[in-house]
Amino acid sequence: MSSASIPHDGATETPSDLVRRVAQAKASFSRIRGTNPYQDAVVAAFDEVRLAHIDRDPGTSCGGAMLVAPYGTGKTEALLALARHAATGAPEGTMPVLNVVMRAEGTPEAVPSAILAALGAPKPDAGRPSFRWDKAIREMRRRGVQLATFDEFNRAARRVTMSRPIATVIQERIMDAGVCPVAFVGSEEADIVLKGCPALLDRLDDGVSLDPFDWSVDEDQRTLVDFLNEIDGKIVAHRLLATESTLERHAERFVLASGGRMRVIMKVIRNALGEAVARNAEAIDLEDLAFGFARLPLADREARNPFEEKTS
């Protein structure tokens, strides 16, 4: 970037002004959501599990569901969408869907703390595990939780000896006690944990999938093209850029760049948007997308930059 640039209003801006403008554009983009029917299917399946247990007899044990999918396919975004959907029209102060994020330490003692943190309780680590469990269950009932989702459940696999106790304590304290059904969500390692607990696995009613986009599948092609077209329009509607960038023309490149993972696709677009805003462009071009890919963390990158090469 040069020491000064000319934004769209014609005024000269300092480097710090430019950095702030790019950051604001990226922050606005992060709030944009597109329609993904595959994520919608996850929301519908989990919501069915929630609704099926609402009218059960008090104290009746609950079932659940599982979603095991690769990193970056949109699992967490689907859970957030589910929580928003279930909260629509719900009584004030209730939390129909409780999204719990498993803690990195991967121990049974950390589970009630993770639940309390998701409930917004102060000092979720205070007290002995039994005290925290009692408090967590009491608060779940008070807040009217109808489905508890445990995201990043793959973290339970970090300590082999802890995997079964973690799964068992969730089953006993929540499902067997009739508090609410539970959905286990995570990457492939979560599947290892659940398969090691056949009694729990037998209690789950649904297994839901959320696979990366596969360019050889016609439905995936259509879905991604529609998604990119929608995101393109929303970027303009939010006044982040002046004209649409025809992102859908590069749909195959996005699949190659991301391995079909939605999170990485959105990261590339976000980075490319920042570059377009920085150079005061009206739309994102191919060089911006190449830059957006190059800015990805190493763990997210494929071996080459597909925005710098011809596709089939």
How would you class 33 by CB atoms within 10 Å of its CB: exposed for 0-12, middle for 13-18, buried for 19 or more?
Answer: middle
Superfamily of domain covering 37-208: P-loop containing nucleotide triphosphate hydrolases (3.40.50.300)
Overall size of the chain counted in residues: 312
For residues 136 and 261, what is the distance between their CA atoms, to the nearest angstrom? Answer: 34
Query: How far is the first Cα of the chain from the last one, in angstroms, to the nearest whole number?
Result: 34
The model's pTM is 0.82
> What are the structure tokens assigned to 40, written together?
């919608």
List Cβ neighbours of 67 (8 Å cut-off, separation of 6 or more). 42, 46, 75, 78, 183, 184, 185, 186, 207, 208, 209, 210
Range of lowest pLDDT (14-23, 149-158, 168-177, 287-296): 149-158
CATH 3.40.50.300 domain position(s) in the chain: 37-208
pLDDT, tens only, 240-279: 999 999 999 999 999 999 999 999 999 999 999 999 999 9
pLDDT, tens only, 25-37: 999 999 999 999 9
| pLDDT score at 3 | 41
| pLDDT score at 214 | 96
Mean local confidence (pLDDT), 22-26 = 96
Mean local confidence (pLDDT), 51-72 = 88
Provide the Cα torsion 282, 77, 80, 155; round to 10°: -140
Distance of CA 249 to the CA centre of its chain: 25
**48: part of which helix (H) or strand (E)?**
helix 37-52
Given the structure tokens 């939390």, which residue do they identify?
Answer: 95
> What are the structure tokens assigned to 309, written together?
């090469």
The number of beta carbons lying within 10 Å of the beta carbon of residue 146 is: 23
Strand ranges, E, within the chain? 64-68, 97-101, 147-151, 182-186, 204-208
Apex CA 24: angle with CA 18 and CA 26, to 5°?
A: 105
Contact assessment for residue 53 and residue 146, using Cβ atoms and an 8 Å cutoff: yes
Mean local confidence (pLDDT), 303-308 = 87
